[in-house]
Structure 1
């Protein structure tokens, strides 16, 4: 049975840990809010009405691709494309191709940044492997103009950040929704987490400084994993109604 991502792949290591995945989506939540195509997320109303539920459903989809046999993963990608196609049909216009690429680029960047923050620096080959996996996802979705390798992707990623991110009314509303659904303390943690993984251009657009209070906390959290109390911290940081979803983040299917 051919797997979409090999069992010894660094991508499985990254997406098999709940804390890494949570940092991936902390970063993506900041970048999403600035994307010039963020209005698409408001068209269905799902993200602003339940940002955490949307997060966990997206995680579930990503994990179903990373940890599945190749045929099943491709089928999941095809379904994802059909879902977006239906939204496009309902709105009567197409999601720009660059917007699809932006989402793919987020997954690449934050997979690498989050793992390096919480675990260890990745080798160039490992970064190339991360890029290759998501390149295959993008290719299956029919995206064009995808760089062939990680090295060629880096300057394209930088140009996407400068061209496609800008503050809008949706930016401020989305952060308002984050705060509403997380509460003041958890929202503060989200902001501090974003500071650690978002690119400089995102920080500039969101007026985020370089210092994060989590710089002090992360070494303590890493130690907590060694003595198996990290779940306690996760339960504190996320609302109780998402306990099942939090637990499932550490389940490695396939």
Structure 2
């Protein structure tokens, strides 16, 4: 069987562990809130209405790509492309190419950062593999200007961080929604994790701490993560309604039999959906 992501790829290890997936999306939640294209996330109203549900929806698509066979992964990518195309058609304008690249770049960045915070430093070949996998996703979606190496990605990522982030009323509202859905106890923990994984530019714009207070707890967790108490602590990070979904993030998922949703009025493409005129 041919896979989009090799069974022994570091990407499967990263995305097959609940701890790293939660840290990836803590960082992504921070950076999404600052992106100058964040208004696109508000256009349908689904993100502010249910940020945790949207997180798990995005995780589901990402894990389909990482763990499915090549055909299944490509169907997942094409379904994502169809959803974006439908939103663009409804709004009557195109999502900027740089905004698509921003999302890919932050997934690369937080896949690397989350694993290194929780596990160990990655090797150069592992970093190259992470970049290659996500850029293949971007190529399937028809996104132009993607890097071909880790070094190219680092340079492009630095430019994006410098040019595409700014606080806005959307930033304030998103964090209001994070607090409302997480509650007064879990919300400070989210901000602490974000401070630990985001780059300095994001940390400064959001007035986050460094997350240094979490390091002793993380060191303890790394030595006890197979014990019941640590499994309980991980599940406690999100409301009870999501605990089964958190546990399901550990290990490769069962084969996906159910069809992917295609938005009303959108045809799921068989290849890249981006218009060549963009």
* Class of the TM-score when normalised by the shorter of the 2 chains: over 0.9
Q: How does 1:22-37 map to 2 (within 5 A)?
A: 22-37=22-37
Cα distance in 2 for partners of 1:59, 1:219 equals 26
Q: How does 1:1-254 map to 2 (within 5 A)?
A: 1-253=1-253
Which secondary structure state, in structure 2, belongs to the residue aligned with residue 183 of structure 1?
A: helix
Which secondary structure state, in structure 2, belongs to the residue aligned with residue 229 of structure 1?
A: helix
Task: For residue 57 of structure 1, report the CA deviation from its aligned partner.
Answer: 0.7
Task: For residue 228 of structure 1, report the CA deviation from its aligned partner.
Answer: 4.3
Q: Which blocks of at least 5 consecutive residues in structure 2 are unaligned?
A: 256-278
Encode CA deviations 1:6-60: one digit per residue, 9 max, x unaligned: 1111000000000100000000000000000000111111110000000011001
Cα distance in 1 for partners of 2:79, 2:161 equals 28
Which secondary structure state, in structure 1, belongs to the residue aligned with residue 32 of structure 2?
A: helix
Cα distance in 2 for partners of 1:77, 1:181 equals 29
Cα distance in 1 for partners of 2:200, 2:235 equals 30
Task: For residue 210 of structure 1, report the CA deviation from its aligned partner.
Answer: 2.5
TM-score, normalised by the number of residues in structure 1: 0.97
Cα distance in 2 for partners of 1:211, 1:180 equals 21
Which secondary structure state, in structure 2, belongs to the residue aligned with residue 213 of structure 1?
A: helix
Which secondary structure state, in structure 2, belongs to the residue aligned with residue 244 of structure 1?
A: helix
Q: Which blocks of at least 5 consecutive residues in structure 1 are unaligned?
A: none
Cα distance in 2 for partners of 1:44, 1:2 equals 36
Cα distance in 2 for partners of 1:11, 1:29 equals 20
TM-score, normalised by the number of residues in structure 2: 0.89
The answer (yes or no) to whether the contact 1:193–1:212 under 8 Å persists in 2 is: no
Encode CA deviations 1:93-136: one digit per residue, 9 max, x unaligned: 11111001000001000000000000010001100000000010
Which secondary structure state, in structure 1, belongs to the residue aligned with residue 54 of structure 2?
A: helix
The answer (yes or no) to whether the contact 2:15–2:21 under 8 Å persists in 1 is: yes
Cα distance in 2 for partners of 1:131, 1:94 equals 25
Which secondary structure state, in structure 1, belongs to the residue aligned with residue 236 of structure 2?
A: helix
The answer (yes or no) to whether the contact 2:48–2:177 under 8 Å persists in 1 is: yes
| Bigger fraction of residues in helix | 1
RMSD: 1.1
The answer (yes or no) to whether the contact 1:27–1:194 under 8 Å persists in 2 is: yes
Q: Which runs of 4+ in 1 moved over 3 A?
A: none
State which drifts further: 125-134 or 244-253: 244-253
Which secondary structure state, in structure 1, belongs to the residue aligned with residue 225 of structure 2?
A: helix
Cα distance in 1 for partners of 2:172, 2:212 equals 21
